[in-house]
Structure formats: structure tokens, C-alpha cells
Amino acid sequence: MRVIILILIGFIFTNCKNKKEKNQDILTTDITNFWDAYDKITSTQDSALQYKYLDSLYIQKGTAGLNGIIQARNYTAQEYIEAINHYPEFWSSIRNNTLKAESYSQELEQGIEKLRKLYPELKPRKIYFTVGALRTAGTYLDSLVLIGSEMAFVDKNTVASEFPEEIREGRQTYFNQNPIDDIVFLAIQEYVHTQQRPFVHNLLSYCIHEGVGDFVATTVLDIPPVVPAIYYGREHKAVREKFEKEMFYGNNVYQWLWSDEPNAFGVRDLGYYIGYQICEDYYDQAEDKQAAIKTMIELDYEDNLQIEEFVKEANFFSASLDELYQDFENRRPYVIGVNQFENNSSKVSPSIKQITVEFSRPLNGVNTGVDFGDLGQDAFPKNDINGRFWSEDNKSWTIPVELEPNRTYQILISNNFRTEDRTPLKPYLIEFKTGEL
């Protein structure tokens, strides 16, 4: 009898310990709190009460993860209330799915352990299953892994018909991919992101950063790639070719990542393919696979030489980054000059009422951008923003000005000017000094 009692005590202790550890690593209480708040919010038409219930039953009871996802996506109370009120059939169709979050704990723990074996330097993180306002399935903030359960747990049965027409088709396409089947992948991917160094703000950096998360997660879980764009990119060489031409544009991120913005291929998030394929090609040629994973995760995006070497060893692009950049520079439009005077003139008439900038070839006639030069705002001429206009052939652009005598002026024509294919203009500084009246 004593032996049986000891066995039972040990069994109970082990189970309690496991539950405690699970609750420390993977938290789902925000989901429960959300539905408590949801039921109260939808029980009244009083908007003041709705906001009160949202705050007291959900926001105030929220975990660090809920606070994190609100901060990461800049969610507002108004967004939550509008989403709840506008899409009742959507919420009804995902409720049961979100309540399954706890059932993924064991798979997630196993995935994290596999990741730790592949990357022993892994820092422990917490995974928070929260409910957001329909703008992310998963993200991260510092050390927090954040799952937006209202988007992560959708499937082909989730109702999309209530969404505005402009996003309805995209939502339905996403729902039909059964994202709920990829919950573990999503969490491990975001877990990897919490281990990485911050990206810098250029398209290639974004793509590699995302690619590392996707590639390491698929490698750890030993599954095929999850993102549909990866398969499309592999089958269409033109994707790489277009990226090589556009990676330095600086004005087209959302055509490649994180958006349904239209692009030449009609497939979103093709930047994920670029980053994933670079990582896969790097991994395939590496003799030490574990060292390759470590290199990927610990890439320093502020170290240009390190990034260039990583891309070079992957051998994904058709030429070196230097060569591709030079090709980009050679294709850029540029400013020929100013119509009214020679740039850097020292005796420009202060009676001039407009400045016309001439371009090397037609631009798109839409995007413009002027800024201050090194001398700052005081050296920027007074002008009427409503008086600016393009020539009929879009080869020149005019800005009205009010000049004073004996003053130095600067106008920076920025790279926000661009061609029809979005190639940005080479920046050009107009600098001149006015003479006497």
C-alpha cells in the first residue's frame, strides 16, 4: 500500500509540475477573457457599456502578450468594438477554433525542444495566444511571441462575407488555406524572430529576416514550406529577376511583403520566397548545418559586409549585390537641371515666381517629394503647395516660389519622384543665392 501511495504522489506531483511549466511557457487566458468580454459587449447596444466591458473584462485582465500585440499593431479600443459589432458571423465561426489553443501546448513544447537542439543558444520565450483586431495572425515584440488567434485559427469554414468588398476576396483566399493547420509552425517561426537581431529598414533586410524565421521553423518541424508564395516563386524565375531590379527602390516594400497591394504577379508576400530561398540555398551548401542555422539566426543586419557575404555564399541572385546596385543606379532617372537658372547660381533674380525641374525621362506624373537641404527649413523658399504642377509629358515639374533678395535657398528633389515602374529618381539638391531686386 505504501508503494502505491508513493507512486500516486509521484504521479500527481509530476502532473502538477508539467501543468505549471506549460502554463508558464504558453498562455491562453486572453482568449477566455476575450469571449467573456465579447458576450457582454454583444448583449447591449449601449456604446459606453461596450467600451467599459472591453476594458474591464479584457484589456485590464490582459497578459503581457495582450499588451504586446496591442502595442505592436497599434490596436485601439475603437477597432476592437467596431470589429465585434461589424462581423458577428465571422466571430461566431471562429469561436470554437480559438478555444482549442490549449490543445496545441504539447506540440509547441516539442517544437521548441527541437529548435533548442538545433540552436542550443536558444533563449526561453513565452508564447501568448491573444485576440487582436484582425490585423495579424502572429508577430513578436522583443521577447514576446504573440499569436492573434482571431486570424491564426481561421479555416475554410470561417465566414468572410461580412468584410468590406476591397478585402473580402483576400480574406477568403487566406481562410481557404486553413491557417489553423499551421499554428505550431506560426508560433515557432515567431519564436525564431525573438532570437534574431533587429532588421534594418531596407527590402532585402526585411526579406532575409522573414526568410530566416520561415526556413528555420520548417527545418525544425521537418515540414514543407507553409507560405504559398514560396512555391510560386520557385516556379517563376521572373520573381527573382524583378526583385533584383527592385530591391533598392525603397518605395515598394508592400508590393513584396505584409500586404495585398497589387503587384506584377498577383501573388502577395513574394518577399518571403526571396528570403526563404536565400536561406535554403545557404543551408544546402553549408557543410556544418547547425552552424548554418546559428549564422542565420544571429545575422547582424547593420553589418553590410556580413549580409553581403551571407548572400554571396547563398548564390541565389544572378550577380553580386554590388553589380545589381550598379545596374539599379544606371537605370534611375535624374534631374537635368532647372529651367529658370543654372543650379548653384549666386545671382538669381528674386522676382522669379516659379522653379521648373527638368528630368532625364518622363516620370509617372503622380509621386513627388521635396525636402529641406543641409541648411534646414530657413533656406526653403515660401511656396504654395496647391500651385505645383507637371508638364503634359511628365518630363518636368514646377513649384511656385516667393523669393527674397540676398538669400541662399535650397530645395531637395527627393527620390519619391519615380517612373511608371516605380524606379526612384536620383535625389538632386537645388541650391542658389538671390541677388538684389
Pair 189, 245 in one domain: no
Q: Which amino acid is at 159?
A: V
pLDDT of residue 233: 97
100-111 average pLDDT score? 96
Pair 243, 276 in one domain: yes
What distance lies between CA 148 and its chain's CA centroid?
A: 15
Pair 181, 229 in one domain: no
Pair 70, 186 in one domain: yes
**Does the structure show a pLDDT above 50 at 205?**
yes
Unique residue bearing C-alpha cell 504573440: 146
Q: Which helix (H) or strand (E) holds 428?
A: strand 428-433
Pair 215, 256 in one domain: yes
Pair 154, 185 in one domain: yes
Pair 350, 308 in one domain: no
- Do the beta carbons of residue 355 and residue 409 sit within 8 Å? no
Closest CA to 174 of 267, 272, 87: 267
State the burial class of residue 203 (Cβ atoms within 10 Å of its Cβ: 0-12, 13-18, 19+): buried
Q: Residue 70: inside a domain, yes or no?
A: yes
- For the chain, the C-alpha Rg in angstroms (whole number) is 27
**Does the structure show a pLDDT above 80 at 7?**
no
Q: Residue 127: inside a domain, yes or no?
A: yes
Q: Residue 296: inside a domain, yes or no?
A: yes
Structural domain span for residue 399: 335-433
- Three cell numbers at 367? 509621386
Q: Residue 2: inside a domain, yes or no?
A: no
Summarised one tens digit per residue, pLDDT across range 353-382 is 999 999 999 999 999 999 999 999 999 999
Pair 326, 187 in one domain: no
pTM, two decimal places: 0.86
Pair 53, 143 in one domain: yes
Query: For the chain, how many structural domains are there in total?
Result: 3
Closest CA to 412 of 332, 333, 335, 347: 335
pLDDT grade, residue 10 (50/70/90)? very low
pLDDT grade, residue 68 (50/70/90)? very high
**Does the structure show a pLDDT above 80 at 14?**
no
